Amino acid sequence: MNFKEINGYSMDPETLCIHISGSDSEKFLQGQLSNDLSLLDKNNYQISSYSTSQGKVISLLKIFKIENGFILVSNTNISTYFIDTISKYILMSDVKISILEKYDVLGICGDYYKKFKTNFNITDYSFYNSNSDFYYLDNSSDYISSAMIISKKNSDIKLLENVLTCEPDDCKNFNINNLSDMCKGIARLNMKTKESFIPQVLKMEDLNGISYKKGCYTGQEIVARTHYLGKIKKKVFPVISKIKNIKSGSKVHDVNGEMIGDVISDTENVNGVFVCLAVIKLDSTNNEMFVERNQIKTLY
């Protein structure tokens, strides 16, 4: 399924931004997250994971660097738990954590995406920052051309308004950012699905979300051991179906009724195509698969 013909924008109420500031913010995050923050610059952002000491992922995050710290883009549902958990490790460090209430998160795709890149002369980099009034994070894949826009509420940037104030029909009734995340296999973990999977199962290796060179961080021993000694038997995949209301927690079965996976997101209805994420055994993805006797198939 190719969603590149979709054109429009939508708000993303499922996502919020967390500001990490203070003189020790980079050192603190390096000791907690799976990716190497020292590789961040003004033209890129990272995907990273935050896990328990047993290597089970609490949250997947998009991270970028700003003048006075870092912004972590988080699933709203897990954000309070994430902040409460990671805050326990601050101790005596100069680190401050706050939610950025004054920003909206939205998604753009298709012609909106192309126009936005043209207006701001965004070429071959994945991140753009315009004086803290808005941030651009490219979220494209082989299946959709899209970007996440984090915009200051009531921003008076004319070019931004020109891109987003268009035909009413271009305001989509599905979450473009969520669809784009699912196309890449980025799971929006919530309070039900947290602490269930190691980063490799959630495609963190495929998405360059793990550094094996930066040193220790919470859960690092399990993650590294899996990388060097283990072989994962299951992984997250976007799946499409004719089922309108597949719920997170539903089981995936093969033709013989054997359980081969778990659905870990609710369904996004994209113009009559129903998309969700499921963690599935790797040796089963090329066979017939079912949820509640209804057939599903992986996007790739």
CB atoms within 10 A of CB 294: 12
Per DSSP, 142 falls in state S
Q: What percent of the chain has pLDDT over 70?
A: 95
Residues 110-142 have pLDDT tens digits of 999 998 898 888 888 899 987 767 899 999 999
Q: Are 186 and 47 in contact (CB under 8 A)?
A: yes
Please provide the CATH number assigned to the domain covering 200-298: 2.40.30.160
Domain with CATH 2.40.30.160 in the chain: 200-298
Q: Are 277 and 185 in contact (CB under 8 A)?
A: yes
Please provide the CATH number assigned to the domain covering 1-199: 3.30.1360.120
Question: Of 104-108, 129-133, 180-184, 228-232, which has the strongest mean pLDDT?
Answer: 180-184
Amino acid at 33: L
Domain with CATH 3.30.1360.120 in the chain: 1-199
Residues 17-51 have pLDDT tens digits of 999 999 999 999 999 999 999 999 989 999 999 99
Query: Mean pLDDT in the chain?
Result: 92
